[in-house]
Amino acid sequence: MTLPASPVWFITGCSTGFGRDLARLVLDRGWRAVVTARDADRVADLVEGHDDTALALALDVNDQAQVEAAVAAAKAKFGQIDVLVNNAGYGYQATAEEGDEAEIRAQFDTNVFGLFAITRAVLPIMRAQGSGNIVNFTSVAGLIGFPGSGYYAASKHAVEGWSDSLLAEVGPLGIGVTCVEPGPFRTDWAGRSLRQTPSQIADYADTAGARMAGTKDVSGTQAGDPVRAGEAIIAAVGQDVTPRHLVLGAFGYEAVTAKLRERLAAIEAARDISLGADFPADAT
């Protein structure tokens, strides 16, 4: 969808990282933005000097009352929402066997159910407009499962599958859906937004254990530039046909395309077995 001259962006999770940099880019263009974080004080500096074009709101996507209030406030101030960016979320690492039930459910509450809730609240506005874009931050882990990140990958895979169905429903209404799938980027995600249940099982030491141990060591050295990522998102959303997938960074692009080729080859290799599951063509 081509963006209007002064689009309204509603961005979750703006206290740090991708959300913060994207909000700054949007406002620097003179566009309008609803900038949200669980603590509104963390985004006060972003909206300073933008009284007419910015609105800072406290928003915990797990709080349905806050979700509804934030969307209502956005509509009251700007009358429209052109781009919803579902960026709020965090990572959790554990082996599949040692995952903590409370941690797993908490992650799904934020990464999946919170994203669902804010999207449901915004959709009536976009339907009335007959236009809009929904940008869901997933991850390379939304398309690939890495050792030690099974539950995180599951939360992101869930959003990817849901986004396919969402696009099938709202695409005919003029609403685009894009999943942003970053690889490693130089944000403070590993230090601020990553929880872990360290593995105590020796059998996983060389797989999940090694990956979890090294995750925080690379923080600050990743190749991905979050500001350039924001520019890429703006460019993608401004296209006449919004891409369904936006993989960001060379690592992510190479890993995802290799995985998709591998997956297709595996499906095709089992073709005869797959097709043999149908009733015979001459069956009565």
Report how far Cα 268 is from the mean position of its chain's Cα atoms.
Answer: 30
What CA–CA distance (Å, rounded) separates 221 from 253? 18
What CA–CA distance (Å, rounded) separates 233 from 7? 14
Query: Can you read off the two tokens belonging to residue 85?
Result: 């960016």
C-alpha distances in Å from residue 11, one per residue of 25, 62, 66, 195, 228: 12, 15, 14, 23, 17
Catalytic positions, please? 152
- CB neighbours (10 Å) of residue 183? 21
* Residue 16 and residue 192 in contact, taking contact as beta carbons nearer than 8 Å: yes
- Which DSSP state fits 133? E
* Residue 182 and residue 224 in contact, taking contact as beta carbons nearer than 8 Å: yes
* Residue 114 and residue 38 in contact, taking contact as beta carbons nearer than 8 Å: no
What CA–CA distance (Å, rounded) separates 69 from 17? 24
Find the distance separating the first CA and the last CA of the chain, reported in whole Å. Answer: 49
What DSSP string runs through 53-95? TEEEEE--TT-HHHHHHHHHHHHHHHS---EEEE----EEEB-
